[in-house]
Amino acid sequence: MPGKAIGNLSQARVLISNDDGINAPGLKVLERAIKEIAREVWVVAPEHEQSAASHSLTLRMPLRIRKVSARRFAVSGTPTDSVLLGMKQVMVNRPPDVVLSGVNRGGNLGEDVTYSGTVAAAMEGTLLGVPSIAFSLVTDDAKNPKWSSAEHWIGEVMRRISALTLPGGVLLNVNFPDVHAKDVTGIEVTRQGRRKIGGAFQEGRDPRGENYYWIGPQREEDRFKAGTDLEAVNRGAVSITPLGLDLTHTRTLTALGELL
């Protein structure tokens, strides 16, 4: 698949989605920021929260699209469903020039990207041949995220990457640090760090006497490995990580070929 330039959004049609749902504050933050710089903004997002939905596609039940207002639609499915229907149904007469996802409440760092519905929405846009970017806000205070910091820096990120041509099968994963806008140290290009959720479970017993297990938010992570998304955001920088959809491990591919 040939690459496409992100381009100057002043002449672009932009499709926005997320995984926190059509009413999420982070979605409104991204809308406001992009409406300041883009010619035309469309929103097609899940009806309800779909966090950790990953790149799941609804196959065994029908999907419905609800028009919320002008150029705003809610889909009874996943982030992937939303982008797919956004491009193939809502914007079918003229597809978007760019797909943006977020702003997620909580970082998508390291291995988070394999679970993230926010990143998955950008993956779907990428698979459909449109330059796509996922935005997330790292926060230790889920009740009071620093949305204004993300809103302030979104435009600067888009300005700096406007000349970039993304190869086919590549998307950008952007994480804003948990600091006020004035305290952001800059924008850095990073690689994916090490951060695995599921290190702790809460065990309980339901009213019927059956055991249940609840996966907590705790993560095993390395915040100090230089050059990674985790290290950058923990220093107060905006992190931009290019992600490839081709998961083939080239070195092992070669070794396996030699062996067989």
Pick out the residues of the known binding site: 19-20, 51, 104
Alpha carbon distance 39, 97 (integer Å): 11
In the chain, where does DSSP find H-type helix?
Answer: 25-35, 79-85, 112-115, 117-127, 147-161, 229-234, 250-259
**Which three-class secondary structure state does DSSP give residue 121?**
helix
Alpha carbon distance 148, 30 (integer Å): 10
Annotated binding-site positions for a divalent metal cation = 19-20, 51, 104
Structure tokens belonging to residue 14: 């932009």
Burial class of residue 56, CB neighbours in 10 A (0-12, 13-18, 19+): middle
- The gap from C-alpha 166 to its chain's centroid, in whole angstroms, comes to 16
Whether residue 105 contacts residue 21, with contact meaning beta carbons closer than 8 Å, is answered with: no
β partners of residue 171: 243
CA angle 81/123/60 to nearest 5° reads 30
**Which three-class secondary structure state does DSSP give residue 59?**
coil
